[in-house]
């Protein structure tokens, strides 16, 4: 690491300033009598040819590089912190379950906040988090290209109804046994997007009352049907070996998302 001096030989040069190049942008280095000196008292310009601050500027640059290297090895995860007991939960649904299972004091108002958990190099990951970059993890999203994803175009027949993809079935699942006409309309949708629009427009009152309790059972039924009817799905699944499967999706129950660097969510599809 060294100080590179530019422009000091130009006639118009009247002072010296220090700039730290971080590899992405330039940050000015200023000096002052104390570390917390007021902005208006910072010294930004120094005497031309004065090299007395070079050693301190280099020391500051080295500290910056060390801190950047440390942060690069850190991993972060977004968590929901319970305001009653301080427990860290993976998402809002997990927090709701926590509130129903744990007795808090009478002053507890079901308050919570989103916090960022920083995991240093070598530390174990918090429960409910996954490093998507780890070698033992295979992640896939619902783009329709990976045979493992719901949107992959492969006909799936469940309970006598044929769906163009598992996503069509999953969009219809909340209404099976309640709104048969809607289920047939979703099954006939030309695209996944159309199926989602039909399901989203139905409203929560059209859903079966036990969908939340039975959704894992319904998901498993659809996945088993796809495994029995789609060879590409089986081949893709076998190719993952013993890797942990992670469905990267915004649905915190069905998949996992990584807004803070580490994926959090219940990953029901991946499991």
Residues 262 and 126: their CA atoms lie apart, in Å, by 10
**Secondary element (H or E) of residue 64:** helix 54-73
Cβ atoms within 10 Å, residue 102: 12
Q: What is the pLDDT of residues 101-146, one digit of tens each?
A: 888 888 888 899 888 777 776 666 666 677 777 788 899 999 999 9
**Are the CB atoms for 196 and 179 separated by under 8 Å?**
no
Say what the pLDDT of residue 116 is.
78
Q: What is the pLDDT of residues 151-175, one digit of tens each?
A: 999 999 999 999 999 999 999 999 9
Q: Is 249 exposed, middle or buried (0-12, 13-18, 19+ CB in 10 A)?
A: buried
Structure-derived torsion over alpha carbons of residues 257, 258, 259, 265, reported in degrees to the nearest 10: 50
Angle, alpha carbons 263-264-270 (nearest 5°): 80
**Fold adopted by 137-241:** Tetracycline Repressor; domain 2 (1.10.357)
Say what the pLDDT of residue 55 is.
86
Residues 107 and 74: their CA atoms lie apart, in Å, by 36
Q: What is the DSSP letter of 204?
A: G
List CB contacts of 225: < 8 A, sequence separation 6 or more: 156, 157, 158, 169
The pLDDT confidence band at residue 261, using thresholds 50, 70 and 90, is: low
Mean pLDDT of the chain: 86
Extents of the domains making up the chain: 15-73, 75-126, 137-241
Q: What is the pLDDT of residues 175-223, one digit of tens each?
A: 999 999 999 999 999 999 999 999 999 877 899 999 999 999 999 999 9
Q: What is the DSSP string of 243-265?
A: PEEEEE-S-TTTSBB-TTSSEES
Q: How far are the Cα atoms of 18, 30, 60, 72, 224 from residue 65, in angstroms, in the given order? A: 16, 18, 9, 10, 51
Residues 247 and 254: their CA atoms lie apart, in Å, by 7
Say what the pLDDT of residue 146 is.
96
Residues 68 and 57: their CA atoms lie apart, in Å, by 16
Hey, which residues does 15 pair with through a beta bridge? 47
Q: What is the DSSP letter of 104?
A: -
């Amino acid at each position: 690491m060294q100080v590179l001096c530019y422009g000091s030989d130009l006639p118009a040069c009247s002072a010296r300033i220090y700039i730290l190049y971080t590899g992405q942008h330039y940050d000015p280095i200023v000096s002052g009598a104390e570390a917390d000196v007021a902005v208006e008292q910072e010294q930004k310009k120094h005497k031309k040819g004065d090299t007395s601050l070079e050693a301190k500027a280099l020391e500051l640059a080295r500290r910056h590089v060390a801190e950047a290297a440390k942060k690069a090895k850190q991993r972060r995860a977004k968590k929901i912190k319970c305001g009653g007991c301080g427990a860290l939960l993976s998402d809002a649904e997990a927090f709701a379950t926590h509130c129903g299972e744990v007795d808090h004091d009478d002053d507890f108002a079901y308050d919570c906040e989103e916090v960022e958990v920083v995991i240093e190099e070598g530390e174990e990951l918090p429960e409910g988090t996954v490093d998507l970059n780890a070698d033992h993890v295979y992640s896939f999203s619902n783009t329709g290209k990976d045979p493992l994803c719901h949107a992959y175009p492969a006909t799936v027949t469940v309970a006598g109804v044929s769906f163009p993809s598992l996503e069509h079935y999953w969009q219809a699942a909340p209404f099976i046994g309640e709104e048969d006409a809607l289920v047939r309309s979703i099954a006939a949708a030309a695209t996944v997007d159309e199926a989602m629009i039909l399901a989203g427009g139905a409203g929560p009152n059209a859903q079966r009352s036990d969908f939340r309790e039975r959704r894992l059972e319904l998901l498993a039924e659809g996945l088993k049907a796809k495994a029995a009817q789609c060879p590409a799905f089986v081949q893709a699944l076998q190719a993952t070996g013993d890797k942990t499967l992670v469905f990267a999706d915004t649905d915190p129950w069905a998949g996992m998302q990584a807004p803070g660097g580490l994926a959090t969510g219940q990953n029901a599809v991946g499991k």
